[in-house]
Each structure stands twice: as structure tokens, then as C-alpha cells.
Amino acid sequence: MNLVLVFQSLISGIMMGAVYALLGIGFSLTWGVMKVINVSHATFGLIAAFVAYTLFKVFGMDPVASLAVTLPSLFGLGCLVYWFLINPITRAKAVIVSSMILTFGIAIILENLILLVWGADPRLLTTSYTNKVFAIGPLYFQYPRVLGFLMAVVGVTAIQLFLKRTLTGKAVRAAWQQSEASQLCGINLKKISMITFGLAVASAGAGGVGMAMLYSFEPHSHNLWLIYLFLVVIVGGVGNILGAAAGGMLIGVITGLSMAFLPYQWINVLTFGLLMLILIFRPHGLFRSEV
């Protein structure tokens, strides 16, 4: 057995999966808390990627530093989208279906806006450390992947702490667990939902920058990213932040290991076959669905 190839593929897969997780936690949150399947989630991430690219090219701003600009902006944008577009449909009987249709429309509008502003050219985020590595024995660690991994750890921890340790976070969980009772306790459901949605969109921004450090991106890339989002949430369990993180890592591990052991053309068969098995035997995901 070629152990170097196995471990190198595994390391690379775990780091890649962590970035998928970072992109997916907000998607899981809105789906779990508000029953809103935000199909435009990855598109918000893509906007952050394009903004990071522009800030880097024009001002030389590091993509991670650009999050200081994009995260608050996307949080605000998310709040506005919730207030004016999502909130009116939360009264619909089939919120999940309505939200999918609505956010699909938002994704198309945003994609066309990206096309208008940045054009159709594919982009690559190439910083001074893009091709840098450090080695531990025969194994290489690529800086962008390590950075993406660290961003994922920070992002997941921050959202988890927010939900468990802050009053607003506890209100979000209360609203998810007992909607009516929480309102009787004085929790403003609309405001809490708006904050949750804003937070989720902001986390998409961090995930988008993480993805841009690994892959080239174009105005339509969000369609592909969306597949990873569904994978992460379905494997990890809807509304479960740590589950989403574990789901992302698991997908990375499976991809990495299958690249070491199987012909590459079997990777998608294996990944989606596994997804089908999970849906059959654990329809709510590998982890318990909760916030």
C-alpha cells in the first residue's frame, strides 16, 4: 500500500471537506431553524469570493482580511433579504417549497448581477502563499488548504458558541425548538429569524472565500457549490452545526480515500451512493437534527 499517497490524499480531503463544512453551516442553520432552504446560499458565498478577488487585485488586500468587509456587508444584505423577501413567505403553508422557489430566483438574479459586474471570465485567487507548502515528513500541507481548514474551525466554533453561549443564540434555539412558547416568553421571532438569516449569509461569505482559495470560480460556480451544500447538510443532519462540520469532513475523507484507492471516475459514484445509503437508513442525517 502506498501510505504516502493515502495520507496525502486524506489530509487534502479533510482540509477540502472543512471548507465545504464552512460553506454549509449557514445553509443547515436556515434550513433547520426557519425551514427555509436557501438555494441562493452558495451565490452569496460566490459574491464574497468575487469581492475578495477584487479587493486583492485592486488594493492587495488578503482574502482573509477581506472578510472584515464582506462578512458585515453580507450580514446586512442577508437581513434585508430576509426582511423584504423571505419573511413574507414564512406565512405560506409549504415554506420549504416556497423558499426554494424564491431563493432560486434570488440566485439567478445574483448570478446575472455577478455576470454584469465581473463578466464571465473564470477567476483564480492567487496570493503570495497560494503555492506555499510546509512538510511534515513526506507529507505536504498546502497553505491555502490549511488556512481554509482554520477558517472552518473558527467559523464553526464561532457559530456554535453564538448559539450556545449568547442570549440571541439561545433565543434562536428556543425559537427553533418551541416557536410559540418562545414568543410567549417575549422573543421577537421575526427579529431572531432575520439575525439567523443574516448570520447564515455571512457564514456563506466565509465559505465562499475558502472555496475561492481552493478552486477557480465563475459566475455559475454556485450551482456546483450548492451540490456540496446539500451533501454536507444531508450527511450532517439539518440544523446541526457540528453535524454539518462532521458531514463536510466526512465527504472530504471519502473523496480523499477514494482518490487513493479507486479509479478517479468512481469518486462521484461512491460519494452519491453513500448519500443514498444515508438517506435510506438515516433519513435525518448521520447526526441528530438540532440547533
Partner 1 sequence: MTSRRKGFITMSGKLLGTILMVLLMCWTVNAAEKPIVIGGSLPLTGQFAETGQWIERGMKFWAKETNEKGGLLGRPVEFKIYDDESNVNKAVTYAEKAITVDKVDLLFGGYPGTAARAVMPVVEKHKFVYVSMGGHMKSFEQGYTYSFGGPPLMGEWWYEGFFQWLETVPADQRPKRAAVYTMNNPIGASLTESIIIWTKKLGIEIAIDEKYNLPLPDATPLIVKAKQMDCDLLCSNGVFADGVMTIRAAKALGYNPKAIVQGIGSVVPAWSKELGPDGDYVFSGTSLHDKLKFPGNDKLNAFVKKEYQIDGYPMYFGFGYVWMQTLSQGVEGAKSLDQTKIRDWLKSNKVDTIAGPMKFTDKGIPDPINFCTQVINGHAELIWPPEVRTANPVYPKPAWK
Nearest of 216, 198, 272 to residue 38 by alpha carbon: 198
DSSP one-letter code for 122: -
Q: Which residues are near partner 1 by CB under 8 A?
A: 2, 4-5, 8-9, 12-13, 16, 111-112, 115, 119-124, 126, 130-133, 140, 142, 215-216, 218-220, 224, 255-256, 259-260, 263-265, 267-268
Nearer of residues 126 and 178 to partner 1, judged by Cβ: 126
Q: How far is residue 215's CA from residue 137's CA, in Å, rounded to a whole number?
A: 26
Task: Output the smallest distance, CB 2 to partner 1, in A.
Answer: 7
Task: Output the smallest distance, CB 119 to partner 1, in A.
Answer: 8
Nearer of residues 10 and 245 to partner 1, judged by Cβ: 10
Task: Output the smallest distance, CB 6 to partner 1, in A.
Answer: 9
Tell me the CA distances in angstroms from 280 to 199, 234, 268, one per residue in order: 31, 11, 18
Four-point Cα dihedral 51, 55, 61, 62, nearest 10: 30
Task: Output the smallest distance, CB 121 to partner 1, in A.
Answer: 5
Residue 240 dihedral angles phi and psi, to the nearest 5°: -105, 105
Nearer of residues 132 and 288 to partner 1, judged by Cβ: 132
Nearer of residues 31 and 225 to partner 1, judged by Cβ: 225
Task: Output the smallest distance, CB 78 to partner 1, in A.
Answer: 25
Give the three cell numbers for residue 243.
453535524
Output the DSSP codes for 207-267: HHHHHHHHS-B-TTHHHHHHHHHHHHHHHH-TT-HHHHHHHHHHHHHHHHHHHHHS-GGGH
Nearer of residues 80 and 274 to partner 1, judged by Cβ: 274
Nearer of residues 6 and 158 to partner 1, judged by Cβ: 6
> What's the CA angle centered on 145, arms 147 and 125, to 5 degrees?
85
